[in-house]
């Protein structure tokens, strides 16, 4: 079949070439006929001008040249015919060979088909077997995973319990709650806590910054949140809202000034909680101070007929009578004092950063104190403080209560306060009459009385230099005081006073210390 097709292609090609040849010959004949006609007409146009004859002659020559060119071209075409036919023949032979090879390949592929199908069938069977095995394995794995999940659930439950325990531990680590244990102050983990504190007096916290005028908010006073931040940054952990006024807290008998607590004390507490700083609340004593900027620190209603005495002796007698629990004339005032601290404790019982301190330096400066009064007040003061402690604790408050000792003659006259959770407080300064060695001796006597005799913690609530505030050796004295206090059986120390520093209220009045001296002081007392 293939041979016949090849022969027919060859015949077609020859016909094409012959036809081209015939056409070329025909064209030549046409041209020759035209030439003969031209010659025949030639005789009729002999009378035409020489120019026409020349034109015809030129045309004839052109036609002749064209004819000769065509004859040459057709001759060349005829010459190339055999070569073209040979090329086509070779291509056809190559195609025939390729086709025969492809037919052979396809036969081979068809022969391999069954073998491939068999291989694929075998592979499918193997995959099926593997799948069945995997299903069995997966079922076993699922069973194992279910068991592991159950174990993990048990572990998760156990971990949740551990997490809860860790949360409790974290809460304990960050819980600021303090308690008294023996002669020490401790946190909820049982670690000993040492208070490094500073007194910030009422005037420094209640005067408008830059003036001696009263302010309406802590934010614009001499003492602000930045000071709390500075205390923390320097290593302190406490400050005392020193010398608050009974007349401010309770302007009318048994009527607490809640607005004041909201505006001032609550603001201090907010700052302290932010910077992890404790705040000690206490009030001024009942001493008559007509010369003071807070002469009416005792409320009017404290006195008979609501009239404050102008006579110092009369005023000091009222103070003695107040602490003499055997004297019924001051019972109502004592009841109001106890009520005040119960109200405060109830307000802040859930605020562990608050530490209660009923009164600063009771009877300090009272000129009527003598041996008889010292023996009496030494007993009755402790009885009154026990009432205060009981009232505070009755609210559920668990904070430590710092009791400043009564300023009477001889520490031996001071009697124990038979209550738990209390800390005794005392003050000791280096003065022009008390050098550092005397200071150490006085401190030793105080430690003996309150720590060893009473078995209670002792907090030194005021120390530093006084009378004068800035003697020539003030740096040496303060440095030695701090070093000595660090190594004694104490639960803390509190320098007096912040308002002496550069940029504070008393500095405006007296310019005690410059900036570099103030920085040295704060680094020393909080170090």
pLDDT in tens, 122-136: 887 887 788 688 778
How far is the C-alpha of 350 from the C-alpha of 345, rounded, in Å?
Answer: 9
Query: 213 with 265, same domain?
Result: no
How far is the C-alpha of 37 from the C-alpha of 502, rounded, in Å?
Answer: 140
Collapsing DSSP to helix, strand or coil, 234 comes out as coil
pLDDT in tens, 458-502: 999 999 999 999 999 999 999 999 999 999 999 999 999 999 999
Quote the radius of gyration of the chain (alpha carbons, Å): 60
Collapsing DSSP to helix, strand or coil, 79 comes out as helix
Query: 307 with 362, same domain?
Result: yes
Average pLDDT for residues 8-34, to the nearest whole number? 66
The tokens for 11 are 């015949």
Banded pLDDT at 441 (limits 50, 70, 90): very high
Q: What is the DSSP string of 239-292?
A: EEEEEE-HHHH-SBTTB--HHHIIIIIHHHHHHHHHHT-EEEEEE--S---TTS
The tokens for 274 are 């932010």
Query: 322 with 448, same domain?
Result: no
Predicted confidence (pLDDT) at residue 392 exceeds the cutoff of 60: yes
The tokens for 145 are 């995973």
What single-letter DSSP state applies at residue 191? -
Query: 211 with 103, same domain?
Result: no
- Write the CB contacts of 497 (distance below 8 Å, at least 6 apart in sequence): 198, 199, 200, 201, 204, 242, 462, 464, 506
- Write the CB contacts of 428 (distance below 8 Å, at least 6 apart in sequence): 439, 442, 443, 446, 460, 462, 463
pLDDT in tens, 138-154: 688 878 878 887 887 88
Whether 150 is in a domain gets the answer: no
- Write the CB contacts of 461 (distance below 8 Å, at least 6 apart in sequence): 199, 240, 357, 360, 402, 404, 425, 426, 427, 494
Whether 153 is in a domain gets the answer: no
CA distances from 303 to 256, 319, 379, 423 (A): 18, 10, 24, 31
**Which structural domain range is residue 366 located in?**
241-401+412-419
Q: How much is the pLDDT for 352?
A: 98
* Of the residues 136, 163, 186, the one at which a domain ends: 136
Q: Which residue bears the tokens 């009923």?
A: 358
335: domain CATH number is: 3.20.20.80
pLDDT in tens, 332-389: 999 999 999 999 999 999 999 999 999 999 999 999 999 999 999 999 999 999 999 9
Strand 178-181 with 184-187, pairing:
antiparallel
Predicted confidence (pLDDT) at residue 40 exceeds the cutoff of 70: no
How far is the C-alpha of 207 from the C-alpha of 221, rounded, in Å?
Answer: 5
pLDDT in tens, 173-205: 789 999 999 999 999 999 999 999 999 999 999
Predicted confidence (pLDDT) at residue 1 exceeds the cutoff of 60: no
The DSSP H or E segment spanning 3 is: helix 2-42
pLDDT in tens, 53-84: 677 677 767 867 776 776 676 567 557 766 76
**Among 134-138, 207-211, 441-445, 504-508, whose mean pLDDT is lowest?**
134-138
* Of the residues 419, 446, 470, the one at which a domain ends: 419
Average pLDDT for residues 402-406, to the nearest whole number? 98
**Among 37-41, 301-305, 362-366, 442-446, whose mean pLDDT is lowest?**
37-41
Whether 183 is in a domain gets the answer: no
Q: How much is the pLDDT for 80?
A: 73
Percent of the chain scored above 90 by pLDDT? 64
What single-letter DSSP state applies at residue 430? B
Predicted confidence (pLDDT) at residue 291 exceeds the cutoff of 50: no
The more confident residue out of 106 and 119 is 119
What single-letter DSSP state applies at residue 212? S
Query: 15 with 80, same domain?
Result: yes
Whether 171 is in a domain gets the answer: no
Average pLDDT for residues 279-290, to the nearest whole number? 86
Query: 304 with 212, same domain?
Result: no
Count CA within 13 A, CB hemisphere, residue 295.
Answer: 8
Query: 390 with 469, same domain?
Result: no
Query: 384 with 451, same domain?
Result: no
Spell out the long-range contacts of 38-46 with Cβ–Cβ below 8 A and sequence spacing 24 or more: none
Whether 120 is in a domain gets the answer: yes
How far is the C-alpha of 285 from the C-alpha of 247, rounded, in Å?
Answer: 11
Whether 158 is in a domain gets the answer: no
Residue 70 has phi, psi (to 5 degrees) of -65, -40
Q: How much is the pLDDT for 58?
A: 79
* Of the residues 120, 136, 152, the one at which a domain ends: 136
Query: 328 with 367, same domain?
Result: yes
Q: Which residue bears the tokens 């709390």?
A: 228
Total count of domains within the chain: 4
pLDDT in tens, 232-261: 999 999 999 999 999 999 999 999 999 999
Whether 519 is in a domain gets the answer: yes
The tokens for 289 are 């101070």
Whether 172 is in a domain gets the answer: no
Q: How much is the pLDDT for 110?
A: 58
Query: 370 with 501, same domain?
Result: no
Query: 58 with 205, same domain?
Result: no
The more confident residue out of 350 and 50 is 350
Query: 443 with 490, same domain?
Result: yes
């Amino acid at each position: 079949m293939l041979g016949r097709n090849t022969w027919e292609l060859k015949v077609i090609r020859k016909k094409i070439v012959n036809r081209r040849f015939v056409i070329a010959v025909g064209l030549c004949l046409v041209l020759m006929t035209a030439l003969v006609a031209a010659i025949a007409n030639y005789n009729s146009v002999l009378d035409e001008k020489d120019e026409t004859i020349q034109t015809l002659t030129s045309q004839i020559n052109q036609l002749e040249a064209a004819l000769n060119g065509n004859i040459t071209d057709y001759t060349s075409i005829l010459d190339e015919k055999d070569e073209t036919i040979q090329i086509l023949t070779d291509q056809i032979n190559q195609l025939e060979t390729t086709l025969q090879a492809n037919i052979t390949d396809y036969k081979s592929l068809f022969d391999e088909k069954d073998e491939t199908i068999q291989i694929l069938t075998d592979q499918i069977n193997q995959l099926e077997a593997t799948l069945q095995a995997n299903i069995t394995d997966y079922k076993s794995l699922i069973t194992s995973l279910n068991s592991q999940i159950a174990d993990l659930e048990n572990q998760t439950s156990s971990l949740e319990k551990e997490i809860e325990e860790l949360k409790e531990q974290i809460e304990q680590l960050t819980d600021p709650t303090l308690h008294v244990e023996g002669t020490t102050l401790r946190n909820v983990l049982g670690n000993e806590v040492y208070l490094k504190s500073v007194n910030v007096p009422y005037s420094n916290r209640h005067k408008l910054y830059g003036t001696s005028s009263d302010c309406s908010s802590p934010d614009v006073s001499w003492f602000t949140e930045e000071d709390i931040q500075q205390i923390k940054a320097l290593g302190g952990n406490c400050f005392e809202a020193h010398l608050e006024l009974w007349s401010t807290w309770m302007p009318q008998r048994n009527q607490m000034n809640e607005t004041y607590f909201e505006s001032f004390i609550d603001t201090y507490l907010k700052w302290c909680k932010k910077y992890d700083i404790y705040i000690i609340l206490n009030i001024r004593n009942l001493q008559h101070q007509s010369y003071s900027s807070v002469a009416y620190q005792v409320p009017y209603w404290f006195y008979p007929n609501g009239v404050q005495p102008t006579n110092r002796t009369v005023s000091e007698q009222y103070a003695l009578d107040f602490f003499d629990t055997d004297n019924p004339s001051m019972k109502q005032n004592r009841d109001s004092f106890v009520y005040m601290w119960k109200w405060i404790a109830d307000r802040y019982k859930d605020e562990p950063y608050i530490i209660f301190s009923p009164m600063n330096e009771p009877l300090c400066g009272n000129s009527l104190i003598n041996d008889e009064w010292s023996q009496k007040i030494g007993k009755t003061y402790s009885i009154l403080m026990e009432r205060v402690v009981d009232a505070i604790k009755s609210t559920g408050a668990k904070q430590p209560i710092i009791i400043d000792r009564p300023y009477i003659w001889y520490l031996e006259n001071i009697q124990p306060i038979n209550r738990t959770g209390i800390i005794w407080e005392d003050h000791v300064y280096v003065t022009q009459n008390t050098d550092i060695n005397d200071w150490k001796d006085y401190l030793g006597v105080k430690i003996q009385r309150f720590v060893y005799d009473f078995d209670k913690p002792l907090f030194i609530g005021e120390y530093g230099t006084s009378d004068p505030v800035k003697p020539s050796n003030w740096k040496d004295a303060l440095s030695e005081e701090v070093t000595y206090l660090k190594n004694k059986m104490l639960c803390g120390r509190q320098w007096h006073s912040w308002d002496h520093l550069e940029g504070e209220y008393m500095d405006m009045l007296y310019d005690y210390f410059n900036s570099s001296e103030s920085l040295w002081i704060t680094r020393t007392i909080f170090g």
